[in-house]
Structure 1
Amino acid sequence: MNLSSSIQVLFGGLVDGCVYALIAVGMSLVYSITRVINLAQGGFVVLAALLSVSLQQAGLHPLVALLVVVAVLALGMAAVDRVVLLPAARRATPDRLLLVTVGLLQAVGGVLLLVWGNLPYTGKPFTTGAPIVLAGIAIQRQQLWIAAILLVAVVALGLLLTRTELGLTMRATASRPDSARLVGVDVDRVRLLAFVLAGAIAALAGSAVVPITFLQFDTTTSYAVSGFVAAVAGGLGSVGGAVLGGLLLGVAEGVLARFTGASLAEVAAIGLMIVLLLVRPSGILGRTAEVRR
């Protein structure tokens, strides 16, 4: 494998890693506020992708469809929390809540199968044009969109959490929810906002990736697993760790696919992440201990 093809493989892995990172960011954000590991995030990504395709088929420009999907998924994720997860959280232990999110993931997959069937779908790119060639590397314009969306989403989320009063409230709730209640913070409102943001991030990921790949109802499980592994490897609850974990997982899959084939690459990459967790159980950027009072 020559240098240019090696770089092409690495770049393709980084693009996949951007998608995993977006999924992991949504999971980590919700976990940091609620301590719920929301595996349904992967299902909502595929739901967003297929909904975007349907809106494009109805005549909407891909970028207009993106805005609609962001609004729908943000509201949808909020509804899932209010109707399912919040009531369950008041009665169930964390391990049982995890099972609830597994059930939600399967339910989303079932809805996708009923509505869109078992055929794979792909969408239109946000902008048209020939691939950009740099140093012999062909870069699809949609791949640049994916990287840009990850960058903008993470920067915007970072500014929200560190530079706004609402963000400071979210951080206080994440570290000490009971103490936040005592000073008058509406913890349920903060929780709702976390799910709204996670839904919007899922919409961005699904709408951005569907133009460069084929997605169908059973992709939900693959994305849920990849997002979860990336979030845990980076440090569950850390946005920066989620990004790093996603990119590492994507690159690992890309490189391993070159030598083992696509069918084994995902399994092998997840195996590498498990080895990483054996060395550092809290994840790359995770905290060794958490305080929540």
Structure 2
Amino acid sequence: MIKSISYWSFSEGMSIEQRMRMAKDYGFEAIELTVEGEGEITPESRPEDMQEFVDMAGEIGLKLPTLATGLGWSFPAIGPDPDICAKGIEIIRTSLGLAAAIGAETFLVVPGTVTAGYSYDEAYDDCVDVFMDLGEAAEEAGVYIGLEYVWNKFLLSPLEFAGIIDEIDEPYVQAYFDVGNVIPNGFPDQWIRILGDRIKAVHFKDFRESIGTGTFDGFVDLLEGDVPWAAVMEALEEIGYDGPVTAEMMPPYPHHPERLIEATSKSMDAILGR
């Protein structure tokens, strides 16, 4: 497996180069870059703009196996507002091109959120329709769309998650699985076995249920929460997963933030048996 870390694990204000160099210094093999509303990589970026980061990663010695964005929270691909959804879909299309340009194999997508005004069945049907269409763009780019469950009140079980991917039935629409996100309502090793080879990328986070489910404060440093890491690794090995495992540690420490990167690296080595 490829030991990676998310762009979001570093202090705000650090450049991509600074984050890359710190990741390398603390023993990571890869970094997950992100498409932001403002900054070095945005929806206005062009594929040719990405060569700078490809060269940078090559010089530093890092891989770029995945790309993510948080813009789906503001501009979801599915939802009650067609104008917002149209922008969200366009961001996904653009980002697939950016992901291809850096050589990433998977682009993370949170499809949308079920709300009081946007029902679960509507979200399900829209998700199937939208991602059947986007699957063609993903295949053309050669980049998997990795759908992820992120406390969005949608796709709440591994059976449903696997089912919707199968119903979409597009080879380039698969799963981006976050180990920590499912702790409040499931067991990550069970999700892994049920999703199986639909999983194209993995996030490592930890969560402590005693702090309270449904609160961001429940996310803790790796090995400090309730994720059954031995069972998770056994399940990943059982399904033959050998892709990136990306630590997504948020927020960064307010003081001496490099200590979070160092601690995360050491914990990942323990989890990965290195």
TM-score when normalising by structure 2: 0.28
Greater length-normalized contact order (CA 8 Å, ≥ 6 residues apart): 1
Between Structure 1 and Structure 2, which shows a larger proportion of strand residues? 2
Q: Hey, which of these two has a bigger chunk of helix by percent?
A: 1
